[in-house]
């Protein structure tokens, strides 16, 4: 891969991968690892993309799968060694009510809301990247919105 | 005060991004990636993978559609096809068939004081868990009802006791309802007998032919959007004994001991094993509109809106008309009972959310026909009560 295409990939998708990782994992510490995993798969895959939308959907789907793999490995992990010399700071996350509330939702609701509200994906498109039916996603969005609203209202009532 | 969640979410997410230095590092990584083996910045992980999985669902491998626990069989009377579906979707798991080789770390049976408690079966969805245990080696005194002793603080999911809205247990009494609705013994279909004591108590069949007893726990999860599937369920039993005698006060542990069981709670994800409808249809001419309903194999959730004020719920009256049963495409029906009514949005929107459970069957969600709401009943010529219904189609 030449530098032009490497920069294109990073500029277009690195932050998207970061935000999806955050939505899934509720932290950004492992986002760079997730990003490298996704980019490596991009390099080694044989996929050809019809359009930039097609490419982006592939990136999002691969990121979600990488996050799931990451969670599984964390669950069964027995020994972890930190390479202190290469430790990097995690990208900062703003301290906002909506992100706090988002973190309290189940992961499928979080991802659906992120893709719907931030990436402007339709329920069908979200279903395609998550491997769920449109009906499932509609349910996730409906319940996620309701829960998010309840959490935000509860938080704001306490502040008042 | 209205809040624009979309705008707030966009603004918050916009603030999450890699720094210029992070992105430069990634570009270098991509340029070097093809020439070098995989190289990661950050943590090095040494993993030991297990066969365990976080994903909910049925056990992998050859599914064995076995005999269900006595209490589940009596409660749901499922035909073989429903059993197969329930096991394929993961709603039902025959815990006693799990092996240590495929599920190391789980403890599904414990023995103390000569008594063995075994987790036999679980029927679990997003909303609750029904767990069935077999007790062997306990001699029940004649004429007494068995009782199990456990502490709520010793029942956990992933170490937390804060997962349930309700949790209760009872022993299987050997009785069921036949197709005519009569109360009979499950073992032989004969009518339940009553004793000659002053209370004319029913005579139950607590003990199976093999001398074992069966205990069922019904747990209803908190409605907080959290999923408990894939998490570790643990329970500590500390005694087995008898319930209070009629006119008596206290149940009595006859055998005290320590039985600890724990396993990964798996079940059917309602998002994948249910039908959701948004009919926005008035039920008959009741003034109550069904806005949406999720019909799962065992749990139904419905959202209603009324066109008029009603405060009967404050006196613990049930919302009317009530969902009575689910009609299937072949004309058969499965009755449901409401287990929870949520009136949090009643004052502002006249909206009520109701949770129901099936109590005499498990649903095949591919064969749903309609929701049947009770219009009332009368005694027919044959002396049987006849209900009439308003129907909402499930499409």
A35-66 residue pLDDT tens: 988 988 888 776 778 788 888 988 999 898 88
CA distance A50 to chain B (A): 23
Residues B217 and B250 in one domain: yes
Q: What confidence tier does B250 reach under pLDDT thresholds 50, 70, 90? A: low
Residue B225: count other Cβ atoms within 10 Å of its Cβ. Answer: 17
Residues B122 and B169 in one domain: yes
> CB–CB of A39 and B33 under 8 A?
yes
pLDDT at B199: 61
Domain assignment present for residue B3? The answer is: no
B51 close to A (CB below 8 A): no
Chain A contacts in chain B segment 323-352 (CB below 8 A) = none
Domain assignment present for residue B170? The answer is: yes
- Mean pLDDT within B96-106: 77
Of B12, B22, B227, the CB nearest to A106: B227
- Mean pLDDT within B132-146: 92
Residues B128 and B223 in one domain: yes
Q: Are A58 and A38 in contact (CB under 8 A)?
A: no
Q: Higher-confidence residue: B289 or A132? A: B289
Domain assignment present for residue B95? The answer is: yes
Of B16, B18, B47, the CB nearest to A77: B47
Say what percent of chain A tops pLDDT 90.
9
> CB–CB of B43 and A82 under 8 A?
yes
Q: What confidence tier does B248 reach under pLDDT thresholds 50, 70, 90? A: low
* Domain termination residue (choose one: B237, B265, B293): B265
Give the bridge partners for B130, in sequence order: B123, B218
- What is the β-pairing status of strands B231-242 and B252-265? antiparallel
Give the nearest chain B residue to A77 (CA atoms).
Answer: B47
Mean pLDDT of chain B: 83
pLDDT at B58: 32
Give the bridge partners for B157, in sequence order: B160, B233
Residues B362 and B326 in one domain: yes
Give the nearest chain B residue to A91 (CA atoms).
Answer: B18
A82 pLDDT above the threshold of 60: no
Residue B21 burial (CB < 10 Å; 0-12/13-18/19+)?
Answer: exposed
B33 close to A (CB below 8 A): yes
* Domain termination residue (choose one: B206, B240, B265): B265
Q: Higher-confidence residue: A29 or B47? A: A29
Contact residues, chain B, for A152 at CB < 8 Å = 3, 5
Lowest mean pLDDT of A52-56, A85-89, A120-124, B78-82, name the range.
A85-89
pLDDT at B394: 94
Domain assignment present for residue B54? The answer is: no
> CB–CB of B26 and A88 under 8 A?
no
Residues with Cβ within 8 Å of B142's Cβ and at least 6 positions away in sequence, in order, are: none
Q: What confidence tier does B249 reach under pLDDT thresholds 50, 70, 90? A: low
B196 pLDDT above the threshold of 70: yes
Residue B357 burial (CB < 10 Å; 0-12/13-18/19+)?
Answer: buried
Q: What is the pTM of this model?
A: 0.59
> CB–CB of A99 and B34 under 8 A?
no
| pLDDT tens per residue, range B25-65 | 888 888 887 544 333 333 222 222 222 222 223 333 334 45
Domain assignment present for residue B27? The answer is: no
Backbone angles phi, psi at B94, to 5 degrees: -85, 95
Residues B230 and B291 in one domain: no
Instruction: Mutation target for A interface from B7, B14, B21, B43: give the one with most A CBs within 10 A.
Output: B43
Give the nearest chain B residue to A157 (CA atoms).
Answer: B1
Give the nearest chain B residue to A132 (CA atoms).
Answer: B272
Question: DSSP state, B211?
Answer: S
CA distance A37 to chain B (A): 9
Of B5, B38, B276, the CB nearest to A149: B5
Q: What confidence tier does B205 reach under pLDDT thresholds 50, 70, 90? A: very high
Residues B76 and B161 in one domain: yes
CATH number for the domain harbouring residue B226:
2.60.40.1630
Of A73, A94, A156, the CB nearest to B12: A94
Instruction: Mutation target for A interface from B15, B44, B225: give the one with most A CBs within 10 A.
Output: B225
Domain assignment present for residue B32? The answer is: no
Residues B301 and B253 in one domain: no
Residues B210 and B245 in one domain: yes
Domain assignment present for residue B16? The answer is: no
CATH number for the domain harbouring residue B335:
2.60.40
Say if the ipTM goes beyond 0.85.
Answer: no
In terms of Cα–Cα distance, which of A1, A87, A37 is closest to B32?
A: A1
Give the Cα separation of B337 and B339 in Å (integer): 6
A150 pLDDT above the threshold of 50: yes
pLDDT at A83: 41
pLDDT at B371: 97
Q: Could you tell me the maximum CA-CA distance found in chain B, to the nearest angstrom?
A: 89
Residues with Cβ within 8 Å of B257's Cβ and at least 6 positions away in sequence, in order, are: B112, B113, B115, B237, B238, B239, B240
* Domain termination residue (choose one: B248, B265, B282): B265
Residues B137 and B281 in one domain: no
Residues B172 and B101 in one domain: yes
- Cα B277 → chain centroid: 21
Of B18, B46, B226, the CB nearest to A18: B18
Domain assignment present for residue B63? The answer is: no
> CB–CB of A102 and B19 under 8 A?
no
| pLDDT tens per residue, range B63-84 | 445 679 998 988 888 888 888 8
Q: Are B215 and B172 in contact (CB under 8 A)?
A: yes
Of B1, B42, B53, the CB nearest to A86: B42
Residues B300 and B181 in one domain: no
Residues with Cβ within 8 Å of A159's Cβ and at least 6 positions away in sequence, in order, are: none
Contact residues, chain A, for B6 at CB < 8 Å = 117
Question: DSSP state, A98?
Answer: H
Say what percent of chain B tops pLDDT 70.
86
pLDDT at B22: 86
Residues B92 and B238 in one domain: yes
Q: How many domains does chain B have?
A: 2
| pLDDT tens per residue, range B306-353 | 998 888 777 667 788 889 999 999 999 998 888 888 888 888 999 999
Domain that holds residue B193: 70-265
pLDDT at B245: 64
Domains of chain A by start residue, with CATH: 1-90 (1.10.1740), 94-160 (1.10.10.10)
């Amino acid at each position: 891969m030449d530098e032009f295409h490497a920069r294109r990939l990073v500029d277009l998708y690195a932050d998207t991968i970061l935000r999806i990782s955050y939505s899934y994992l509720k932290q950004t510490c492992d986002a760079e690892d997730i990003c490298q995993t996704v980019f490596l798969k991009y390099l080694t895959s044989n996929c050809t993309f019809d359009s930039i939308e097609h490419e982006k959907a592939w990136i999002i789907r691969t990121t979600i799968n990488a996050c799931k793999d990451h969670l599984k490995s964390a669950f069964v992990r027995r020994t972890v060694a930190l390479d202190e010399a290469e430790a990097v700071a995690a990208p900062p996350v703003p301290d906002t009510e909506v992100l706090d509330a988002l973190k309290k939702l189940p992961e499928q609701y979080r991802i659906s809301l992120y893709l719907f509200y931030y990436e402007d994906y339709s329920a069908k498109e979200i279903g395609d990247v998550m491997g769920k039916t449109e009906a499932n996603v509609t349910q996730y969005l409906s319940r996620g919105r309701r829960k998010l609203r309840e959490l935000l209202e509860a938080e704001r009532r306490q502040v008042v | 005060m209205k809040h624009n969640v979309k705008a707030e979410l966009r603004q918050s997410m916009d603030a999450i991004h890699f720094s210029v230095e992070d992105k430069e590092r990634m570009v270098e990584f991509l340029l070097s990636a093809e020439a070098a083996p995989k190289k990661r910045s950050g943590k090095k992980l040494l993993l030991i993978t297990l066969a365990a999985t976080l994903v909910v669902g049925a056990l992998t491998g050859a599914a064995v559609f076995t005999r269900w626990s006595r209490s589940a069989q009596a409660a749901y009377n499922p035909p073989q096809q429903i059993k197969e579906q329930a096991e394929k979707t993961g709603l039902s798991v025959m815990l006693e068939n799990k092996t240590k080789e495929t599920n190391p770390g789980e403890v599904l049976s414990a023995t103390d004081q000569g008594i063995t408690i075994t987790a036999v079966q679980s029927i679990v969805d997003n909303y609750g868990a029904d767990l069935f245990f077999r007790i062997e080696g306990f001699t029940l005194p004649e004429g007494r009802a068995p009782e199990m002793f456990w502490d709520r603080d010793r029942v956990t999911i992933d170490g937390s006791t804060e997962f349930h809205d309700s949790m209760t247990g009872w022993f299987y009494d050997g009785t069921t309802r036949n197709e005519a609705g009569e109360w009979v013994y499950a073992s032989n279909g004969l009518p339940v007998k009553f004793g000659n004591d002053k209370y004319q108590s029913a005579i139950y069949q607590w003990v199976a032919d093999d001398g074992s007893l069966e205990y069922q726990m019904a747990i209803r999860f908190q409605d907080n959007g959290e999923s408990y599937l894939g998490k570790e369920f643990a329970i500590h039993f500390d005694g087995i004994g008898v319930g209070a005698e009629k006119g008596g006060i206290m149940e009595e542990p006859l055998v005290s001991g320590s039985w600890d069981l724990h396993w990964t709670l798996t079940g059917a994800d309602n998002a994948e094993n249910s039908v959701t409808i948004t009919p926005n249809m008035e039920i008959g001419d009741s003034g109550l509109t069904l806005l949406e309903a999720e019909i799962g194999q065992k749990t139904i959730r419905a959202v209603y809106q009324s066109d008029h004020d009603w405060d009967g719920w404050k006196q613990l009256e049930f919302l009317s008309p009530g969902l009575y049963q689910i009609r299937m495409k072949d004309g058969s029906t499965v009755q449901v009972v409401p287990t929870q009514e949520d009136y949090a949005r009643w004052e502002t929107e006249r909206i009520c959310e109701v949770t129901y459970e099936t109590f005499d069957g498990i649903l095949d969600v591919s064969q749903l026909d309609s929701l049947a709401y009770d219009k009332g009943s009368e005694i027919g010529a044959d002396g049987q009560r006849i209900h009439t219904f308003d129907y909402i189609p499930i499409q």
